[in-house]
């Protein structure tokens, strides 16, 4: 859910344009799991669900982090809202790393729907233990 007022109160800054565009795509935000395929990147980003912008648990103000989604492996996808390029970070077992994709690239990526069975298969197969 898009909650511009909550975001601006939490960070004391305007919602970055790319994040605003993402959350205004109501069909995408409310969709079930979705994957993003990129022209110039050799891997995909698969989102289980997007975070509710009004949920205070989506904010880590002291780090300027907004947790915008949970991927299909159950890890958080994050943006540092003060970063000029809004590179996507992933928190995996407490460690935060860049994944090599910017939020703006999500907006232009080819989207594909994931079926519930695909997500359940990944959880049973990997269960977070590689």
List, for residues 4-53, the tens digit of each pLDDT value.
999 999 999 999 999 999 999 999 998 889 999 999 888 899 999 999 99
Burial label, 118 (beta-carbon count in 10 A; 0-12, 13-18, 19+): middle
The count of C-alpha atoms lying within 13 angstroms of the C-alpha of 63, restricted to the half-sphere facing its C-beta, is 11
Q: Dump pLDDT digits (tens) for 80-102.
A: 999 999 999 999 999 999 999 99
Helix (H) or strand (E) holding 121: helix 116-126
């Amino acid at each position: 859910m898009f909650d511009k007022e909550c975001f601006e109160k939490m960070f004391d800054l305007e919602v970055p344009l790319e994040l605003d565009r993402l959350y205004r795509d109501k069909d995408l935000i409310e969709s079930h799991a979705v994957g993003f395929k990129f022209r110039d990147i050799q891997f995909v980003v698969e989102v289980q669900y997007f975070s509710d912008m009004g949920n205070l648990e989506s904010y880590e103000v002291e780090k300027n982090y907004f947790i915008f989604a949970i991927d299909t492996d159950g890890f958080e996808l994050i943006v540092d809202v003060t970063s000029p390029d809004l590179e996507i970070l992933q928190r995996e077992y407490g460690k935060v790393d860049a994944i090599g994709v910017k939020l703006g690239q999500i907006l232009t990526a080819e989207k594909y729907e994931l079926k519930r069975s695909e997500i359940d298969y990944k959880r049973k197969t990997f269960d977070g233990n590689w």
